[in-house]
Amino acid sequence: MGAIRVVLAEDQAMVLGALAALLELEQDITVVARAANGREALESVRTLLPDVLVTDIEMPKMTGLELAAELCSSQPKTRTIILTTFARPGYLRRAMDAGARGYLLKDRPAAELADAVRRVHRGLRVVDPALAAEAWSVEVDPLSERERQILQRAGDGRTSTEIAGELHLSEGTIRNYLSEIIAKLGAANRVDAARIARAKGWL
């Protein structure tokens, strides 16, 4: 049986290099590509057809959660592990809903990543036990994917006009979405709504 083929996706070059070096120490694991953004990772997976993708959540051009969802439908033989600093149950729920097979925190011992790659490759799920228990007791994410796109941009400081242009919607539609989001989250305004959503792992 050949080595487990892995694509790594991480936008911090030093972290990406360290992760690759750690996994390359394992005789049964080969890193076949490194990607600095989500779009690059998707192209690498489509071209190389690896067994496992290890990806951060927050990356340019395409998030780890968007990657997991895309691969779940178009490339199901490649299993996704989310490797992140976010110990938030909301993120874990979204990762599992997107089809990720593993969710690990970056502060875990290095040996756990290689073990997770092996277990996910065998078809198992790998999730931090304490986080997994907490995840199923938290509030359900009330945001739709469209609301999340709009709130993400609003939280980054974009105006309704800019958001409307990016998403090809009218300004009135954006304002209506933001009013609905603010009401759903019990927030004071769009900035407060983004803060609440981020704290809960919904954004």
The confidence score (pLDDT) of residue 101 equals 93
CB 141 within 8 A of CB 121: no
pLDDT in tens, 113-166: 999 999 999 999 998 776 766 665 566 788 898 999 999 999 999 999 999 999
The answer to whether residues 30 and 84 belong to one domain is yes
Number of domains in the chain: 2
The answer to whether residues 33 and 98 belong to one domain is yes
- Using alpha carbons, list the distances in angstroms from residue 84 to 21, 62, 147, 167: 18, 15, 23, 28
pLDDT in tens, 166-198: 999 999 999 999 999 999 898 999 999 999 998
The answer to whether residues 166 and 131 belong to one domain is no
User: Residue 136 CA to chain centroid, in angstroms?
Assistant: 18
Q: Is the confidence at residue 53, as pLDDT, over 90? A: yes
| Separation CA 125–CA 140 (nearest Å) | 21
| Alpha-helical segments (H) within 128-202 | 129-135, 145-155, 160-167, 171-185, 190-200
The answer to whether residues 118 and 149 belong to one domain is no
The answer to whether residues 87 and 180 belong to one domain is no
The confidence score (pLDDT) of residue 134 equals 62
Q: Determine, yes or no, domain membership for 90.
A: yes
The answer to whether residues 47 and 106 belong to one domain is yes
What CATH number does residue 189 fall under?
1.10.10.10
Q: Is the confidence at residue 201, as pLDDT, over 90? A: no
Q: Does the reported pTM lie above 0.85?
A: no
Domain span at residue 167? 145-200
Q: Is the confidence at residue 1, as pLDDT, over 80? A: no
| Separation CA 69–CA 90 (nearest Å) | 16
